[in-house]
Amino acid sequence: MSNPNIRTKVGNLELKNPVILASGTSGYGYELEKYIDLNQIGGFISKGIYYDPRPGNESPRIYETPCGMLNAIGLQGIGVKRFKEEIIPFWEKYDTLFGVNVAGESEDEYLKVVEYLEPEKRIDFFEINLSCPNVQAGGKSPSWDPEKTHSIIRGIKSISEKHIMAKLSPNVTYIEEIAKAAEEGGANSLSLVNTFVGMSVDIETRKPHIKNVFGGVSGPAIKPMALALVHKVFKTVSIPVVGIGGIVSAEDVLEFVIAGASAVQIGTATIIDPQSALKIIKKLSLLMNKLSYDKIEDLIGSLKTGG
Ligand SMILES: Cc1cc2nc3c(=O)[nH]c(=O)nc-3n(C[C@H](O)[C@H](O)[C@H](O)COP(=O)(O)O)c2cc1C
């Protein structure tokens, strides 16, 4: 049995395998320390960080739905100062790739977060969460607007030398336009998708199951839609794409890679089983052997259409 090569690259980021832990589903990393060895995963992305600490939304904030879940955590976070003092020293113990998920209520706040954390060598890349409601824009998210997307990414690129991954929302009519705007703003890669807007109703109380009424849907329920969006974006841009949405198995990873993803992120699967990522990585080599695939990089975007 040969040993397939599962190393991959996302621009200048070199990953020992294509599996990254997605933002918001693995905390800051130390929460998973007793379940998995972080050195064995391809990369890790923190919960979204605003400049100041935030309490998040009122409970109930999560609810299980068929083949998935709804969440409206409201980007609860510890803020940049505590992040630097408490989390960076923890990350320094590991040699996996670490990304910070950057959040902002305004364009300025995204820049302030990046500016504060830019000197930290242990941060390998910034993932820009463009789905945050923008207070100045009446709650609209920058990820719905190509101009805002372009402007935020361009602003960040002008103050950061790190790899910038722009995270796109699926809640748009024409994702290709937003993807192009991020690429033209200077993004080094794109990650997609964030959660789909959803809701659920308790028919006895007639109240929403989520206090915030609307939440984000994640998990296997969103996989086919996420896969389609990844493929559309892959066909549109020339920077690498990182696939996210409902991945729970090695088979799912290969589907996303064949559709065009250079790497993937795993979110809800970690909430179901904190060891999911490691199990998926182990299975990936076995699966590639079974399918006689030698190298994951050869499969990226290898989808055969027509004929
Ligand atoms: C509880 C929870 C919290 C999340 N928090 C964030 C966040 O802070 N920033 C972000 O960009 N995405 C956040 N996400 C979105 C995930 O990173 C991911 O894009 C989404 O869940 C789809 O992947 P999945 O189906 O594998 O979970 C969160 C998702 C969940 C379920």
Reading the chain (307 residues) residue by residue, the pLDDT tens digits are 679 999 999 999 999 999 999 999 999 999 999 999 999 999 999 999 999 998 888 899 999 999 999 999 887 889 999 999 999 999 999 999 999 999 999 999 999 999 999 999 999 999 999 998 776 777 789 999 999 999 999 999 999 999 999 999 999 999 999 999 999 999 999 999 999 999 999 999 999 999 999 999 999 999 999 999 999 999 999 999 999 999 999 999 999 999 999 999 999 999 999 999 999 999 999 999 999 999 999 999 999 998 7
Radius of gyration of the chain (CA): 18
Give strand pairing partners of 5. 295
Cα 144 to its chain centre, rounded Å, is 17
96 pocket-lining for ligand 1 (C-beta < 6 Å): no
> Are residues 242 and 190 in contact, defined by beta-carbon separation less than 8 angstroms?
yes
- Nearest CA to 187 out of 262, 97, 126 is that of 126
Residue 290 alpha carbon to ligand 1 centre in Å: 31
* Residue 103 to residue 118: CA distance in whole angstroms: 15
Domain ranges of the chain: 8-57+72-197+217-299
Query: Does residue 67 carry a catalytic annotation?
Result: no
243 pocket-lining for ligand 1 (C-beta < 6 Å): no
> Are residues 258 and 6 in contact, defined by beta-carbon separation less than 8 angstroms?
no
* Residue 185 to residue 165: CA distance in whole angstroms: 11
Candidate of 194, 210, 217, 229 to mutate for ligand 1, largest count of ligand atoms within 8 Å of Cβ = 194
The one catalytic residue among 117, 123, 132, 175: 132
Overall fold of domain 8-57+72-197+217-299: TIM Barrel (3.20.20)
